[in-house]
């Protein structure tokens, strides 16, 4: 029987070996994506040493947070953000990966409690050019990054992307490479970035080879979502 703890260990070992085989050898953190998983599964992963968890849906996340207040979890919000959710997100998360418009960034900034450290944020970039997908177009990135840098309660860390799902490794690589190029372009413009949040259960090895520093993995840790 494979437990959450076994799967976590396997994934951490794989992350390490893919990273060492790659060109970048950047630090890579594992974000355990716990959407649709019960608090007990998070508790099990935490007991196995995992402390960073990602959630997509605010109410579901808040419910689990209240059941897990005894744990020292770093909570990351990775789902689409509606304006009316910004206040609670700013109060209850350490990181937000999914900023794709200034209005949301401003509202998170205004709602971030003064007694907490700045909210650590990534801009979500859309490299698959699908109108339906969230994420800012690459040519709008620099303007949004400039505006976010001026917000004192937010700390811009880097970029996040959710490329079109594909089992074709070449397609994965092309898309991650485009995200990487956006990241390099912003860095060259002087933004001090250290986070590239790309890669999920099916494609994290390809993402790490392209320079991912956070991989967001759900089903490979917890099993399929119901």
| Contact criterion met (CB below 8 Å) for 34 and 222 | yes
80 or 146, CB closer to ligand PLP?
Answer: 80
Q: Which residues bind ligand PLP (CB under 6 A)?
A: 33, 35, 56, 78, 162, 200-202, 216-220
CA-closest candidate to residue 182, choices 168, 171, 196, 192: 196
Instruction: Tell the smallest beta-carbon distance from residue 190 to ligand PLP (Å).
Output: 28
Instruction: Tell the smallest beta-carbon distance from residue 118 to ligand PLP (Å).
Output: 22
Instruction: Tell the smallest beta-carbon distance from residue 152 to ligand PLP (Å).
Output: 27
Strand locations in the chain (E): 29-33, 52-55, 74-77, 95-99, 119-124, 154-160, 195-197, 214-217
46 or 53, CB closer to ligand PLP?
Answer: 53
Residue closest to ligand PLP, measured at CB: 218
CA-closest candidate to residue 58, choices 94, 30, 82: 82
122 or 154, CB closer to ligand PLP?
Answer: 122
Instruction: Tell the smallest beta-carbon distance from residue 111 to ligand PLP (Å).
Output: 22
90 or 220, CB closer to ligand PLP?
Answer: 220
Strand locations in 25-87 (E): 29-33, 52-55, 74-77
């Amino acid at each position: 029987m494979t437990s959450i703890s076994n799967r976590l260990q396997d994934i951490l070992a794989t992350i390490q070996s893919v990273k060492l085989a790659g060109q970048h050898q950047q630090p890579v953190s594992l974000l355990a994506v716990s959407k649709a998983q019960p608090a007990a599964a998070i508790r099990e992963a935490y007991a196995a040493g995992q402390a960073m968890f990602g959630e997509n849906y605010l109410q579901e996340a808040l419910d689990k947070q209240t059941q897990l207040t005894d744990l020292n979890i770093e909570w990351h919000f990775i789902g689409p953000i509606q304006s009316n959710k910004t206040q609670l997100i700013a109060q209850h998360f350490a990181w937000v990966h999914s900023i794709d418009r200034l209005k949301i960034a401003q509202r998170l900034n205004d709602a971030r409690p003064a007694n907490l450290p700045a909210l650590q944020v990534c801009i979500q970039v859309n490299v698959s050019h699908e109108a339906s997908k969230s994420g800012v177009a690459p040519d709008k990135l620099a303007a949004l990054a400039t505006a976010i840098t001026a917000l004192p309660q937010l700390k811009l860390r880097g970029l996040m992307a959710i490329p079109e799902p594909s089992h074709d490794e070449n397609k994965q690589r092309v898309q991650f490479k485009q995200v990487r190029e956006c990241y390099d372009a912003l860095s060259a413009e002087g933004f001090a970035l250290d986070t590239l949040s790309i890669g999920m259960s099916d494609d994290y090895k390809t993402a790490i080879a392209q320079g991912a520093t956070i991989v967001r993995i759900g089903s490979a840790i917890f099993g399929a979502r119901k």
